[in-house]
């Protein structure tokens, strides 16, 4: 892999860039949040509007972010600064990327906590596989209430929560410290194909052993009466968050893209793959849940509580459970690597330090916040760091970080990105980067300049006052 003229490494190929970017986008937002949101918001009405929103909002903002990175060939804030400077605009616009870098750092700290839950369930199913064997259902002889209680039991063990969080973070740091070619790209090139193999296998398993027909009907039957304003806003938010926008990750990855990569076409592939994974997540999870007679509206507990119960009644339940959470681990790791890379790239370029040192500093800071987040479910459950603000009243440390990033930093950063690319940056420079022409280019311009900022502003306002 060659370095760029400005000292930045490049992806070895367009396919490596696509796999890395898809890995960044495909994570717990798709595998955990999407099925939970679909279940809580009426199924088909939410899903179909979500797909529309990916095209209307997600894809235009995604292309805007990667073109900034490719033009700047540097960390996200410096890439914005360079495009602003080349456009004879104020370099203060780099604040939009700085917010994204900070948001990525905050998200990383609590994202690894959830990654630790995934590791825990891998261990649970490995243990159960040895106890119950391959052929039967999972957790043989155990009451459903015991299986459902696994997650609350984990929450009650502060030491284990902290240890799992730090372990997941350490693995993430290992790959980021190795650099783009030996670390980040390696994770993408090897783990993402394994992820897709496991994903398709589990989806096929669910189709044959679960209630696949009801799942398809639930996910793709449009019922206009369920398309309320709240459902539409939830779908818009999921489309935005599932693509990992507003956290500088796509700008950072775009900086490693070669000049001959068509960003418009590549962004379409990334958005399409991300959406396909979200839909397949529903088709993998809901047939199993429905076959067990469980509710689709279990919310965040759908993956960590309902599914393990469902695996009790399924053939090869322990083996499939292990494969499922291993798949989730791969998806979570590729996303956490992206979250760590954004602030790490900024730090080692800004302060002229080695990548390894920058990784240790950023990872160390995330570890401190991660410990506090991990303890939010037990020892520090009643610690409300921003309790004096009505929006975060009675919100623990974990949920506060989630709320600050999701409701404030991410939508504000995305709005500023649209304004910067659509109105401030030199149109000729932008057009040279985006890889679009004709009607598609004009449509993208209209969406970035007018549609996306308005809709994202609605999300921001609703997040604060809704």
What would the pLDDT profile of 234-275 be if each residue is shown by its tens digit? 898 898 888 989 999 999 999 999 999 999 999 999 999 999
* Look-up of token digits 């979250």: 339
CA distance 406 to 232: 17
What number of other Cβ atoms are within 10 A of residue 421's Cβ?
28
Under DSSP, is residue 400 helix (H, G, I), strand (E, B) or coil? helix
Cα Rg of the chain, angstroms: 21
pLDDT of 8: 64
Backbone angles phi, psi at 9, to 5 degrees: -75, 155
CA distance 239 to 278: 10
CA distance 401 to 409: 10
Q: Are 68 and 254 in contact (CB under 8 A)?
A: yes
Please name which of 26, 325, 10 lies closest in space to residue 193, comparing C-alpha atoms.
26
pLDDT of 229: 87
* Look-up of token digits 């649209």: 418
* Residue 9 DSSP one-character state: B
CA distance 137 to 308: 10
pLDDT of 2: 37
CA distance 258 to 73: 10
Please name which of 450, 423, 25, 23 lies closest in space to residue 247, comparing C-alpha atoms.
25
At a CB cut-off of 8 Å and minimum separation 6, what does 358 contact? 344, 347, 348, 351
The DSSP string of 158-181 is HHHHHHHHHHHHHHHHHHHHTHII
* Structural domains of the chain, ranges and CATH numbers in brackets: 17-465 (1.20.1740)
CA distance 369 to 191: 27
Per-position pLDDT tens, the chain of length 466 = 334 334 568 999 999 999 999 999 999 888 988 999 999 998 999 999 999 999 999 999 999 999 999 999 999 999 999 999 999 999 999 999 999 999 999 999 999 999 999 999 999 999 999 888 887 788 988 999 999 999 999 999 999 999 999 999 999 999 999 999 999 999 999 999 999 999 999 999 999 999 999 999 999 999 889 999 889 988 988 988 889 899 999 999 999 999 999 999 999 999 999 999 999 999 999 999 999 999 888 877 899 999 999 998 888 999 999 999 999 999 999 999 999 999 999 999 999 999 999 999 999 999 999 999 999 999 899 999 999 999 899 999 999 999 999 999 999 999 999 999 999 999 999 999 999 999 999 999 999 999 999 999 999 998 898 7
CA distance 295 to 120: 24
pLDDT of 38: 92
Q: Are 301 and 42 in contact (CB under 8 A)?
A: no
What would the pLDDT profile of 4-35 be if each residue is shown by its tens digit? 334 568 999 999 999 999 999 999 888 988 99
Burial class of residue 214 in the structure, from the number of CB atoms within 10 Å of its CB (0-12 exposed, 13-18 middle, 19+ buried): middle
* Look-up of token digits 């610690």: 383
* Look-up of token digits 């149109």: 427
Q: Are 290 and 215 in contact (CB under 8 A)?
A: yes
CA distance 157 to 378: 7
């Amino acid at each position: 892999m060659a370095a760029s003229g400005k000292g930045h490494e490049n992806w070895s190929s367009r396919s490596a860039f696509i796999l890395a970017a898809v890995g960044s986008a495909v994570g717990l937002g798709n595998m955990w949040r999407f099925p939970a949101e679909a279940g809580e918001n009426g199924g088909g009405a939410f899903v179909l509007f979500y797909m529309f929103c990916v095209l209307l909002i997600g894809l235009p903002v995604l292309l805007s972010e990667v073109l900034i990175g490719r033009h700047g060939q540097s960390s996200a804030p410096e890439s914005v600064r360079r495009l602003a400077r080349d456009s004879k605009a104020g370099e203060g616009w780099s604040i939009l990327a700085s917010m994204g870098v900070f948001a990525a750092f905050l998200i990383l700290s609590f994202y690894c906590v959830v990654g630790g839950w995934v590791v825990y369930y891998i261990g649970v199913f490995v243990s159960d596989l040895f106890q119950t064997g391959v052929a039967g259902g999972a957790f043989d002889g155990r009451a459903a209430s015991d299986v459902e209680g696994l997650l609350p039991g984990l929450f009650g063990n502060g030491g284990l929560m902290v240890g799992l969080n730090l372990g997941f973070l350490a693995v993430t740091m290992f790959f980021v410290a190795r650099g783009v070619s030996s670390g980040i790209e390696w994770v993408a090139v090897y783990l993402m194909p394994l992820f897709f193999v496991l994903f398709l296998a589990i989806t096929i398993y669910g189709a044959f052993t679960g209630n696949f027909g009801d799942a398809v009907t639930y996910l793709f039957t449009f019922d206009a009466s369920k398309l309320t304003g709240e459902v539409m806003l939830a779908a818009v938010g999921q489309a935005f968050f599932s693509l990992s926008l507003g956290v500088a990750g796509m700008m950072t990855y775009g900086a490693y893209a070669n000049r001959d990569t068509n960003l418009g076409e590549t962004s379409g592939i990334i958005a399409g793959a991300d959406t396909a994974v979200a839909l397949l997540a529903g088709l993998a999870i809901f047939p199993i849940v429905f076959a067990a007679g469980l509710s689709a509206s279990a919310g965040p507990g759908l993956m960590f509580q309902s599914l393990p119960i469902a695996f009790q009644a399924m053939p090869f339940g322990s083996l499939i459970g292990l494969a499922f959470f291993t798949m989730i681990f791969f998806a979570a790791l590729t996303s956490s690597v992206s979250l760590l890379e954004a602030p790490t790239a900024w730090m080692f370029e800004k302060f002229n330090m080695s990548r390894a040192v920058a990784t240790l500093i950023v990872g160390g800071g995330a570890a401190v916040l991660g410990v506090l987040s991990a303890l939010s479910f037990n020892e520090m459950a009643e610690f409300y760091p921003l309790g004096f603000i009505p929006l975060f009243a009675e919100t623990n440390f974990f949920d506060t970080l989630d709320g600050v990033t999701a409701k404030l930093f991410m939508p504000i950063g995305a709005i500023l990105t649209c304004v910067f690319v659509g109105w401030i940056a030199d149109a000729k420079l932008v057009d040279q980067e985006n890889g679009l022409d004709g009607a598609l280019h004009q449509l993208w311009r209209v969406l970035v300049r007018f549609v996306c900022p308005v809709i994202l502003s609605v999300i921001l306002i609703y997040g604060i006052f809704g």
